[in-house]
Structure 1
């Protein structure tokens, strides 16, 4: 336990025992405590862009998985989260280039926008190949028309505004437009973006007669990705999927994005277990939604498309985007 650092969340996972006290009292450091990493958020304090958490195809392996029977821990010498624990749940659509929240227009094309005229922050990941596109902020709107020769239209974009069906770490020629001028860039699908889905507040925790407390995970949580108090990301796998999950940073056979909160067709809340709201018997099963300040509605998708979009993810459609080495490009290719 000596390596657990202040102000962080950890997953305790030890398949050899269900008694955490033995590990809490162990004198030697063990690998049963896994840090929940922060990732790179696309938002700032005063930002209203839809939240995206950026990971790479390398550091996404650091996200710990918590199964029923494991424990989520928090360590602090000065604070106890008695006023509530915030959870932001995120969708996983697989690997992509470092762009999110692409905005669809009436013609079916997609673009990003420079809201402040100084950067495409909120849309581009500064640690990816797409960071070079910030040189075009003066044009306000930058369009992505093709990836690997395939037109980017609604069936190529997730509900989180990311390009889907790309093969992990593969490079693609991406056709961007500043005004009517095209710019061809070679970009790798080595980014693992997570797109905001819904949020909750919970309050249950237990003291463990140790330097950590246990954060209780609600029974109504579904399999998915959860960002805890804007500090750390965890992958939660329920019993339903524990036998099929491949243990890798991405598994297209698992339903990660099935919403918990439900709204009716008019946008009225009918189910939210975190607030003990349940009107499903009054209005039927309801529809899912992500009505939140963290989702600004910029994408031309309904949340009913989330699960369907997820089913389209993965390497199965990667060949659609193959770089055609025989194509003659008349513009500059920036590597």
Structure 2
């Protein structure tokens, strides 16, 4: 993205936010579509590729995909101003809204959509409920950054999701798959999930890049100062986040390409509640945060962390409990197939909707530079 540009009423009309995005950012949906297509073709045409990618795993996720995720998340977390996190944690309204959206409304909405739209497909329904329980701790940082959200707020909310995920995932799985269906007279499904398995996923995909980002900023600022760190170092590593995202998408869809392309009608059935979920969660969060008087950067951070899901964990749980060829696993795989283009589209909607929010404080970067153009 281009450097920060002050917006005025007249400037906003003549200099739209989208026109200030870099070529890479502006056409990101195209690059992601190409990456998905390449991955699907590789998985479909190259025999044994899925087995090769899955041969070595980190936290129940293919090692190459794990590397892609770490590369993707590191530059974003290296941008966080950790000395300003105290201002974020003091915002109890934002923290409360995020917890409500992520851990009360999100799982409940996915449960309702799964039962309403897939009443005759119990395996896919269960898989979607698992996706709804796995709150996002990875790609949401990319979407938030592209939408000019508050990086510090997003980092805190992602960390809160990580802690809640370790503590609450197994309990919520039991509640939504056994207890609540029993109360409603619906079919019940057992879910045996290891708390340590969830903790490993969080430690790998959030803990490692978070520690690396913190150490990089601390040591970099101590050695060369904040001006050098933010004006020289960050633009150099910035593009790695988007390249890591595209690399991860190629590998993810290569790993599951045959499964997706061999069952197109099932994929379409699963896609409908997923798409409804992402739109409703993001839209509802934006409306709620605007009603609460949030500025745009924090409203964006809350909305994208509410709409995104940790599909790595959802896929790992579905495969571990129900098997790699199960309908539950297929539902988990379809998750990123729909989530990635849906949330990329919502980035552009978010940038457009910025005009409806009160001005951000002067200390917040109106249009942060992701470094994609450097």
User: TM-score, normalised on structure 2?
Assistant: 0.21
Higher CA-based Rg: 1
Q: Which has the higher helix share?
A: 2
User: TM-score, normalised on structure 1?
Assistant: 0.22
Q: Which has the higher strand share?
A: 1
Q: Which has the higher contact order (CA 8 A, sep 6+)?
A: 2
